Amino acid sequence: MHHILADDLSRLPQLLQSARDFAAREVAGLPERPVARLDEAPGPGPLPAGGAGADGALARFAERWAPGFSGSAGPRYLGFVTGGATPASVTGDWLTSAYDQNGSGAAGSWATALERETVAWLRELFGLREEHTGAFVTGATVSNTVGLAVAREWLGERLGVDVSREGAAALGPVDVLSGSPHSSIAKSLSVLGIGRDRLRRVPVLPGGREAVDVAALDAALAALDGRPAIVVANAGTVNSVDFDDLRAIAALKERYGFWLHVDAAFGGFAALSPAHAHLVDGLDAADSVCVDLHKWLNVPYDAAVQYTRRRDLQVRVFHNASPYLGPPTGEPDFLHLTPENSRRLRALPAWFSLVAYGRDGHREIVERNVALAARLGEGVAALDGLRLLAPVRLNVVCFTLADDPTEERVAALARAVTESGEAFLTPTVYDGVPGLRAAFSNWRTSGEDGERVLAALTAALAG
Ligand SMILES: *Cc1c(COP(=O)(O)O)cnc(C)c1O
């Protein structure tokens, strides 16, 4: 063994203690550090020839890189839809690395059984029945890709084509219908060989809504003349957090043959709140479902789940056939269900958080975030210089300048907020108008944080 490696091995407990001490200081400082950094990062350094040991690496990281990291795990990073990491999930994440299990299959470990337990708990949390089976993947983009890959295989079943063997081209042009799809859907279609241009926008409801007009979807399906299609329903759009009427869309299946995929990346968490659960009514009727976990479950990146009722088709797509891996018998190993072969046990952070806080604790996070968004929405509406672009339906406040909201002026406002170090918001375009989004999905955001964000916006407007 290399002498530095041997030295690190002999001091492993102290090294872990140093990492713990460092992380504890950084996490404790989150509420006060600048929420985001705009200054330029250092250029890449040379590959180290001699090693510095783990202590040396920690010292160099602390000096060279840590100061430039954002406070994205903290309470006022409201860009995109950014979850933090609950204390229990960090514990689970550290242990995931310490144990370094390969979640591809049983392989002499109980790790995959733990993943199955977690997938089943989350299924219950989101109100899905047992016909839905699932797996952990890296994020909602991959979860959408897996769901749409199973959809593609289903189209093949309908058309008498074995897509996993013959290729997507054997299907001919595929119709994918959606009202306000997330950009990851087009990316998934590109990956899957279906093609970005096959995503067809169905009109949304009038009155500034982002939810699909079900009558228009009905008409679009009728126009396909019996050709099977894929419908992507959206449960929580990123700008206005609008929800398609999942029950009404599922009811169309009585008349048309289509695969219903639901992108519930963060909107799926509405199921945790009795006051908002109606928004995801009908989620269970989907053929495949995507829910992100590194957003509103507040586990570290990267974690999401995918569910489907057609595990048989999923195995056809993802089956990894090799004598050294064994055949997919009985309960298929995860390597036959997901894009990865070897995979991190990313269920463990979620398992820890669910055991630590339960359904009630996670419900409290969701409901607090929703209340904070409503309050910021009221504050923004009351400010002279700003106006809401959409009603605050759940956890996102989408707003713009009251006067002359050009892209440049809105970007300048966002920059001023970021430079204050107090908050981080990201730009968007809603209904053709440039604006900003404040998305609440962090477990530690408080009422006081909400007031600091509003104060930062007020100051940025004045400056
Ligand atoms: C965030 C998001 C995605 C993509 O999620 P990643 O985890 O970043 O891959 C997809 N759909 C919706 C609705 C989202 O909010």
Residue at 280 is within a domain: yes
Minimum-distance ligand 1 atom for the alpha carbon of 184: 10
pLDDT digits (tens, 9 = 90+) for 89-122: 999 999 999 999 999 987 789 999 999 999 999 9
CA dist 274 and 290 (Å) reads 21
pLDDT at 327: 65
Blockwise average pLDDT, block size 10, the chain, 463 residues:
98 98 96 91 96 98 96 97 98 98 90 97 98 98 98 98 97 98 98 98 96 98 98 98 98 98 98 98 98 98 98 96 74 95 97 98 98 98 97 98 98 97 97 97 98 98 92
Residue at 293 is within a domain: yes
How distant, in Å, are the alpha carbons of 235, 245, 368, 419 from that of 242? Answer: 7, 10, 19, 31
Task: Indicate which residue's Cα is closest to atom 3 of ligand 1.
Answer: 140
| Sign of the alpha-carbon dihedral angle for 10, 14, 18, 20 | positive
Range of the domain at 225: 91-352
Contact between 243 and 279 under an 8 Å Cβ cutoff? The reply is: yes
Q: For a substitution probing ligand 1, which of 141, 145, 188 has the most ligand atoms within 8 Å of its CB? A: 141
* Residue the block writes with tokens 């299946």: 253
What's the N-to-C CA distance of the chain in angstroms? 60
Residue at 315 is within a domain: yes
User: What residues contact 224, with CB distance under 8 A and at least 6 apart?
Assistant: 175, 256
DSSP state of 235: B
Mean per-residue pLDDT of the chain = 97
Cβ(292) – ligand 1 distance below 6 Å: yes
Residue at 388 is within a domain: no
User: 3-state SS string over 299-368?
Assistant: CCCCCEEEEECCHHHHHHHHCCCCCCCCCCCCCCCHHHCCCCCCCCCCHHHHHHHHHHHHHHHHHHHHHH
Nearest CA to 236 out of 189, 305, 283, 197 is that of 283
Q: How many domains does the chain have?
A: 1
Residue at 136 is within a domain: yes
Residue at 112 is within a domain: yes
pLDDT at 324: 78
Please state the pTM of the whole predicted model: 0.97
Find the CATH number of the domain harbouring 156. 3.40.640.10
Residue at 451 is within a domain: no
DSSP-assigned beta bridge partners for residue 307: 134, 289
Q: How many CB atoms lie within 10 A of CB 161?
A: 19
Cβ(441) – ligand 1 distance below 6 Å: no
Cβ(266) – ligand 1 distance below 6 Å: yes
Residue at 340 is within a domain: yes
pLDDT digits (tens, 9 = 90+) for 180-205: 999 999 999 999 999 999 999 999 99
Instruction: Give distance in angstroms: CA of 224 to centre of ligand 1.
Output: 29
Contact between 320 and 153 under an 8 Å Cβ cutoff? The reply is: no
